[in-house]
Amino acid sequence: MSSPLRPLALIGAGGLGRETAELVRAINAALPTWDLLGFFDDDDTLAGTRIGGLPVLGTVAEAADDADLAIAICTARPGIGCSRARISAALDLPESRTPALVHPTSSLASSTVVGRGTILLAGVVATADVTLGAHVVVMPHTVLTHDDHIGDFVTIASGVRLGGSVHVGAEAYLGAGAMVREGIEIGSSALVGMGSVVLDDVPAGQTWAGVPARVLDTPRLTAAQDRDRGPGVDPARVTA
Q: Is residue 229 part of a domain?
A: no
pLDDT tens sequence for the chain (240 residues): 456 899 999 999 999 999 999 999 999 999 999 999 999 999 999 999 999 999 999 999 999 999 999 999 999 877 655 799 999 999 999 999 999 999 999 999 999 999 999 999 999 999 999 999 999 999 999 999 999 999 999 999 999 999 999 999 999 999 999 999 999 999 999 999 999 999 999 999 999 999 999 999 655 655 565 555 544 434 434 444
Could you tell me the residue range of the domain that residue 166 belongs to? 101-215
What are the start-end ranges of the H helices in 31-115? 83-91
142 & 178 share domain: yes
Q: Is residue 88 part of a domain?
A: no
**Phi/psi of residue 24, nearest 5 degrees:** -60, -40
Strand order in the sheet with 179-180: 107-108, 125-126, 143-144, 161-162, 179-180, 197-198
**The CA-based dihedral angle spanning residues 60, 65, 67, 71, taken in that order and rounded to the nearest 10 degrees:** -10
211 & 120 share domain: yes
Closest to 223 in 3D by CA, of 167, 172, 150: 172
Q: Is residue 152 part of a domain?
A: yes
151 & 210 share domain: yes
Q: Is residue 227 part of a domain?
A: no
166 & 211 share domain: yes
Cis peptide before 219 (omega within 30 of 0): no
pTM (2 decimals)? 0.89
Q: Is residue 31 part of a domain?
A: yes
Domain-ending residue, one of 58, 74, 90:
74
The CATH number linked to 135 is: 2.160.10.10
Please tell me the total count of domains within the chain.
Answer: 2
68 & 136 share domain: no
47 & 116 share domain: no
Q: Is residue 128 part of a domain?
A: yes
- The separation between CA 54 and the C-alpha centre of its own chain, rounded to angstroms, equals 20
The CA distance from 63 to 123, in Å, is 29
